[in-house]
Amino acid sequence: MKYAHRIDGSEKIRLKDFKADDTRGVTREEGEREALALGEELVELQELLYAASDRSVLIVLQGRDTSGKDGTIRYLTSPLSASGCDVASFKAPVGEELTHDFLWRVHKATPGRGEMRIFNRSYYEDVLVVRVHNLVPENVWKKRYEHINNFENMLVDAGTIILKFYLHIDAEEQEERLLKREQEATKFWKLSVGDWEEREYWDSYTEAYEAVMNKCSSPQAAWYIVPANKKWFRNIAIARAIAEQLRPFKDDWLRVLETRGANELKRIKEFRSAHKT
């Protein structure tokens, strides 16, 4: 059974049809066991990706405030080697970024071959916060869905494997998490009145997210709706989706590495016999 709901463009979704506290009948204990196994598999897949260096992996994380983007990143990056998996965060554009098209800063941040990169927020903000707050005229943001689809298709053609996750929490869970931050001194740095202000726009964000998932999903650049009220379930749902997406490449990668190893071994032997005295 799928833990996260994968959207490949063949259906129209409404967020209200998805339960944010779903755990698909998995208990926390089972989930934590699976998290360990998935972690090991992801490490192996990432090493193969890095060694074969013929593809790159782009993981887009989107979600409302407190939905767990930072926690997901901590979970995913801690077992994965620093050389092969990193993070790019996107805040409101500033300076030179504002003098270019919205994808200019993004393109430079895409992963190169062999790399896996997590986008903490992304170019999707340009049709989310920008749409909700009319930061640019409607006729400008409306065209961006198609620009995004073309951009992602180009990345796919260049060998990028794209996975996009919407961390789905409900309004009650968000309120609880925001209030909890006020109780913990170590979380004070996260406090922001902006989070409470954004909450007032809950329904507009819902519409904006639905538009994103309905307009910008395809088999090669799917969105996943991740039930994210339960942090442990959110983590395994995402890890499982990534493992499922990368697993089909494993045999190819092993073959590439085997051929490369055999060629190198041949050269070493030739070198040795040429240098024999």
Query: Residues interacting with Mg ion, by CB under 5 A?
Result: 65
Residue 9 touches ligand AMP, criterion: CB under 6 A: no
**Minimum distance from residue 66 beta carbon to Mg ion (Å):** 8
Tokens 């379930």 identify what position? 233
The interface partner of residue 168, options being Mg ion, ligand AMP, none and the CB cut-off 5 to 8 Å by kind, is none
Q: Give the whole-angstrom CA distance, residue 170 versus residue 211.
A: 18
By a kind-dependent CB cut-off of 5 to 8 A, residue 170 interacts, out of Mg ion, ligand AMP, none, with none
Least distance CB 65 / Mg ion (angstroms): 4
Closest CA to 196 of 25, 92, 64, 91: 64
* Minimum CB distance to Mg ion smaller for 89 or for 149: 89
Task: Say how many residues touch ligand AMP, by CB under 6 A.
Answer: 10
Phi, psi of 163 (to 5 degrees): -130, 135
Residues numbered 34 to 93 that lie near ligand AMP (CB under 6 A) are 90-93
What distance in Å separates the CA atoms of residue 116 and residue 49, rounded to the nearest whole number?
Answer: 8
Residue 275 in contact with ligand AMP, rule: CB under 6 A: no
Q: For ligand AMP, which residue of 26, 45, 80, 126 counts as binding (CB under 6 A)? A: 126
Rounded-to-integer distance, Cα 93 and Cα 84, Å: 26
108 binds ligand AMP (CB under 6 A): no
- Alpha-carbon torsion, ordered 92, 221, 211, 146, to 10 deg: 80
Helix (H) or strand (E) holding 85: strand 85-89
Q: How far apart are alpha carbons 211 and 197 in whole angstroms?
A: 22
Residue nearest to Mg ion (CB): 65
Q: Which residues bind ligand AMP (CB under 6 A)?
A: 90-93, 121, 125-126, 129-130, 135
